[in-house]
Amino acid sequence: MQEEFTVLRVKYYRRSGYDIHSSVYIASNCNIKGKVSIGEGSSLAHNCVLSGGNEGIEIRKNVMIAPNVVIIAFSHGIENNGIPMSKQNNSESKVVIEDDVWIAANCTIGNGVTIGTGSIIAANSFVNKDVEPFSIMGGVPAKLIRKR
């Protein structure tokens, strides 16, 4: 039954104009907005939020994204102290997650970040800088634990 529902979710997002490969797995309670593409063999577990804005989120092939992961391609403006932050323009930058990446549960990936091929992001991490290929990163903010 679960497989049946993920097929329906993928069809829904594809019909809505998202570039999502037909083999992608999308679990329940995922929220996808803005410009987002998801490549072959990738999966989103329960309660993920992908907000691509205008710049977008590109998730390539065979990426595993665990429950409660948030990926955001924008940040609120904070430059002008004379204007409430909620009224300032957002700062947007594309997020790229390359092939064969595993993002563990409860992570947040900030705008403008590229996560290199074969990398692992440890649970409960906040990634705000690019990640080199085959790196294991963890923490807030995420730091290199070791190379694979």
CA–CA dist 147, 132 (Å, integer): 9
- Residue 46 bears catalytic tag: no
Q: Which of 11, 12, 54, 76 is catalytic?
A: 76
Pairing state of beta strands 74-75 and 91-92?
Answer: antiparallel
Enumerate residues 6+ apart whose C-beta is below 8 A from 3. Answer: none
Exposed, middle or buried by CB within 10 Å (0-12, 13-18, 19+), for 136? middle
What residues act catalytically?
76
